Chains A and B, each alone.
Chain A
Amino acid sequence: MTVLRARDLGRKYRRRWALTGCDLDLPAGHVTGLVGPNGAGKSTLLGLAAGMVEPSSGTIEVCGDVPGSGPAQLAKVGFVAQHTPVYANLTVAEHLRLGAHLNPGWDDGLARDRIARIGLDPALPAGKLSGGQRAQLALTLGIAKRPELLLLDEPVASLDPVARREFLRDLMESVAEHGLSVVMSSHLIGDLERVCDHLVVLVDARVRITGEVEHLLATHRRLTGPRRDVGTLPADQHVVSVSHTDRQTSVLVRTEAPVLDPAWDVGEVDLEDLLLAYMSNPGTGRPPLEVVR
């Protein structure tokens, strides 16, 4: 089942395309990591999925309907924006009250439980909270709403390591217990590795690569060997990144088949290598395959 489907989705701000030609099918019940350099279009994609931003081209469908199209649709999708906004003059308890008033599926037990566990004083105005506490409050609202899909824009950026781990644990428990789907953007590869089973890599307003993490790791190899022209590689080995020294060539390739050429020393790649290779080699807007041929 698909929780988010985009076809040729694009969004233009004045003259610049923040996102363009985006085709995605994200599966339900999974945690998708949204990765890319700053300004690659991550927030725009999340905003489009939440219905906060209207598409300039193409279509997007979330939980089977147009984002933001009505109260029923809004109830299905949770969104915690970057910088985790909260009402400065409302207390923590009033925020929970707000959540309870505005959401039919509100899980008050969960919300109170989380607030107590984090150690937030319910009587404190949200304006007096630290950045991390504010994020925890906004995230609590997002989780306790009990959406089918939770969209998180750099949710853990302002949390300390302990709070971050706790939050991810709560999030993963919701995934396990309620089949929640999550799409989250983050720069923290360690977190992504731990919690994401799908990835979308955005570079220069385009989707560079998307897929299941294990499948991506299994189909990418680092080849090192004597210096040579990568143009001579077999057609099924798509070059992602390449670097030469005067004697040696190191290539990161995507291939479904095993690499048989004995001249190469074949190594596995970890998620960080993979992401860095894609993010630092934006290509030319075409799949890497065509770049090589």
Chain B
Amino acid sequence: MIEFHLDGKSGLSPYQQLVRQVRHALRLGLLREGDQLPKVKDVVADLAINPNTVLKAYRELEHDGLVAARPGVGTFVTGTLSGTSLAALAPLRQDLRRWLAKARRAGLDEESVEALFLTTFRSASREDIA
């Protein structure tokens, strides 16, 4: 079982934060198939958060095939995000390290690196949509 938390400064809405925290836990192996997600009632009591927000987050996860709701029992993990992707992670990370070293040598500070990465990332994903 995981415990949710909300970060007021994250810039993300509570709903997005819940989805992200579940995905994160799945990716890191903190949640495995068959595990139960916290009950809506408990999340509401813990975080003083709108139950509809929790339901919406769970519905989105369900839509993505990651969890399944069993009426009257709770919501359980059915899918996974780790596995194959976890293995592919290491070489990608190595590539990124190399690129970062290059960027530093070119005189970019942390902020410039971040800005460059984000704009490239965004325009690339936009091209994908288009």
Contact = CB atoms under 8 A, between A and B. Distances in A.
Asked if A and B touch directly (CB within 8 angstroms), the answer is yes
Contacts of A265: 119, 122
Interface in B42-94: 44-45, 47-53, 56
B123 A175 contact: no
B16 to A, nearest CB: 8
B52 A173 contact: no
Interface residues of B, number: 25
Contacts of B107: none
Contacts of A262: 123, 126
B50 A172 contact: yes
Nearest to A172: B44
Contacts of B126: 258, 260, 262, 266
B51 to A, nearest CB: 4
Contact of A190 (B8, B45, B50, B51): B8
B1 interface: no
B106 interface: no
B8 A172 contact: no
A149 to B, nearest CB: 15
A217 interface: yes
- Chain A interface category by residue count: 20 to 34
B14 A175 contact: no
A173 B41 contact: yes
Contacts of A86: none
B13 A270 contact: yes
A271 B14 CA distance: 11
Interface of B: 6, 8, 11-15, 40-41, 44-45, 47-53, 56, 119, 122-123, 126, 129-130
Q: Which 4 A-B pairs have the closest CB atoms?
A: A176-B51, A169-B48, A168-B48, A197-B52
Given A175-B50, A176-B44, A217-B13, 16 more contacts: A29-B52, A31-B50, A166-B48, A168-B48, A172-B50, A175-B51, A175-B52, A176-B41, A177-B41, A194-B6, A194-B47, A194-B49, A213-B13, A258-B129, A260-B130, A270-B13
